[in-house]
Amino acid sequence: MISVIIPTYNSANTALIAIKSVIYQTYQNWNIIIIDDGSEDNTFVVINDFLKTLPHNISDKIKLVQQSNQGPSSARNLGLTFSEGEYIAFLDSDDEWSKDKLEVQMKYMENDKSLYLCSTAFGKKRIKHNLECQYISFNKLLFSNYFSTPSVLLRAKVLDNYNFDISQKFAEDYRLWLLIAYNHKCLYVNRVLVNNQSNKRDYGESGLSSNLWEMEKGELSNFIFLYKNSMINIVTFLACSFFSIFKFNIRLIKSKLLF
């Protein structure tokens, strides 16, 4: 079974689309844990009312929990404590899955028992080559984050030793993927199976350079963490840090051209 964790916050207009995209999956062995992160609008009520309209065989597979506002990482970690599946997937409340997303990923996971993480392309971020999929090593992941949180499917046991760092507000998901990839096999499926409902732009919907810088600081802090924990040497630390800063400047230029 796959436990799907959906954090929500002030997402009354989008949450039901996200939830329905799980309900209508071709792969049906799932349960959903929705963690409302202290929404200030009527998100919780909208979801709760929707669940009451579902047949029992569907609503019994969905759990709705509310917590005070602590951020998406805290909400995801809380969701993990309620998970029951051998596999874990995450979905943001403003995103939606293609109907065969879980089925596609499960085929790879079941065919390769040594595979611990399977991700897909998100929105427009498909790799421009003809490969159907490729394994992503730890070293490869250092220079490009191939994994978006709503696209990831994990073996639950890999999260026995890891979770989302609630003290980190940006790129905390990237740190988790790096920790997993350090010791486990990861796969990227080059198919777009996740989309954002509002088609927000790649470099942040606000386009503010301050937001881009916060994301960059989060990424650099991940490399510092890896270096301090002897997971990368000084040469690798400098290489991925300088490359990250180079990419940040490209993103900054693009954001100024777009807005």
- Mean pLDDT per 10-residue interval, the chain, length 259 residues: 98 97 98 98 97 97 97 96 97 96 98 97 72 94 96 96 92 97 97 85 45 91 98 98 93 70
Answering whether pTM is above 0.85, one says yes
Report pLDDT for 131.
76
SS3 71: coil
CA 176 – CA 121 distance, rounded (Å): 18
Q: How many other C-beta atoms can be found within 10 angstroms of the C-beta atom of residue 216?
A: 19
Nearest C-alpha neighbor of 37 from the set 77, 5, 4, 10: 10
Q: Which residue has the tokens 């790799």?
A: 127
Pair 25, 99: CB distance under 8 Å: yes
CA 254 – CA 138 distance, rounded (Å): 28
Pick the CATH number of 2-196 from 1.10.260.40, 3.60.20.10, 3.90.550.10, 3.30.70.660: 3.90.550.10
Cα–Cα distances in angstroms (integers) from residue 164 to residues 53, 130, 145, 250, in the given order: 33, 33, 16, 28
Q: Which residue has the tokens 């807005």?
A: 259
Half-sphere exposure of 79 (CA within 13 A, CB side): 32
**Per DSSP, which regions of the chain are E strands?**
2-8, 30-37, 62-67, 87-90, 95-97, 115-122, 133-135, 153-155, 185-196
Q: How many other C-beta atoms can be found within 10 angstroms of the C-beta atom of residue 90?
A: 23
Q: How many other C-beta atoms can be found within 10 angstroms of the C-beta atom of residue 22?
A: 25
Pair 134, 190: CB distance under 8 Å: yes
